[in-house]
Structure 1
Amino acid sequence: MNYSNLFQKDLIVLNADYQDQKDLFNSNFKSLHDKGLVNASYCAALTERESLYPTGLANDKIQFAIPHTDVTHVNHPFVQVVRLKKPIRFAHMGMSDRQVDAEIVFMLGIKDPKGQVGLLSEIMSCFNDQSFIDHVRTINDSQQMENYLKDKFGR
């Protein structure tokens, strides 16, 4: 499926600095809400869902997170990409007693629940590809990152 339209330059935050997960969610909620992409319930719903169904993931190459919430809190579909200066702790997906220090966060805003599963699968697959990881770690221009992600997820 083609997910390229979900990536936008103004939703790519490179070398971001947040104190913790709450700061990350609150700061990005404001931006997403101001753009009309999410409704007022999004941040609370995202935080609650993360506590119930953690989204931190890790492999031998990278630690990352894919927070998301139910479609009712999203007005328009998007993926916000946040590359962090210093990692933020997330509980591991499926193993909430294990912690992940995520260095990259893909915050999903999906309107089609069926599409969410496919996008999650695609993102997880990309994070197993060393070339993809190298690109998202090193691209320092949001326009270049948008172009790369549109190409990567535009199949």
Structure 2
Amino acid sequence: MGDACRKGGEWVESVKSLFREELIFMTDLQTQEEVFAYIGDTLLQKGLVKKGFTESILEREKNYPTGLDLNPVADDMPNVAIPHTETEYCNDKAVVFVKLDRNIPFRNMIEPDRELTVKYLFFIVNHEKNSQTNILSELIEFMTNREHMKKLESLKGKKEIYDFLTSAQ
């Protein structure tokens, strides 16, 4: 992890600032396609992405799955996905958080032939090629922290989730 992203074990302001309260979602959508379409339409309306974002993220997910199995960290941890696409489809930088009412299937990023069920999604919206790896590694570090994920599981409202994501250490 580069020093530019971490400081004494805390998320630094640049990473925290990628979360926005209006980009925290709790939804009962039931398929990957429904979630991607909803998030894509919302981001397009907000001017954060370009036309073609949803199609690109769906295509990328087929070729490079983003499901992350957190069972190796702890048996009781929910799985996550980190959908993202090429910078050319993005107008800004943000992380969109989605908490699903019920788990939906995603393919495993490490073992693409294996399916897993996912509870949380962290969409990366990024128009800067050079920062994609840092954002991804920061998110994975957060997700593989058992205490962070336990706390996230306990939160019920968008404001609570936003406050936690922007203050987690």
How does the TM-score come out when normalised to structure 1? 0.93
1:39 Cα offset (Å) = 0.7
Distance 2:110 2:153 in 1: 25
Residue number in structure 2 paired with 1:142: 158
> What does residue range 34-49 of structure 1 map to in structure 2 within 5 Å?
34-49=45-60
> How many residues get paired?
152
More strand by share: 1
Ranges of 4+ aligned residues in structure 1 off by more than 4 Å: none
Distance 1:74 1:152 in 2: 26
Could you tell me which of 21, 27, 38 is aligned with 1:9? 21
Unaligned runs of 5+ in 2: 6-13, 72-76
Residue 85 of structure 1 aligns with an amino acid whose one-letter code is D
Could you tell me which of 92, 108, 116 is aligned with 1:100? 116
- Secondary structure of the corresponding residue to residue 123 of structure 1: helix
Distance 1:99 1:53 in 2: 13
Residue 54 of structure 1 aligns with an amino acid whose one-letter code is P
1:66 Cα offset (Å) = 0.2
Unaligned runs of 5+ in 1: none
Distance 2:94 2:159 in 1: 16
Residue number in structure 1 paired with 2:104: 88
Contact 1:56 1:63 in 2 (8 A): yes
- Secondary structure of the corresponding residue to residue 101 of structure 1: strand
How does the TM-score come out when normalised to structure 2? 0.85
Contact 2:68 2:110 in 1 (8 A): no
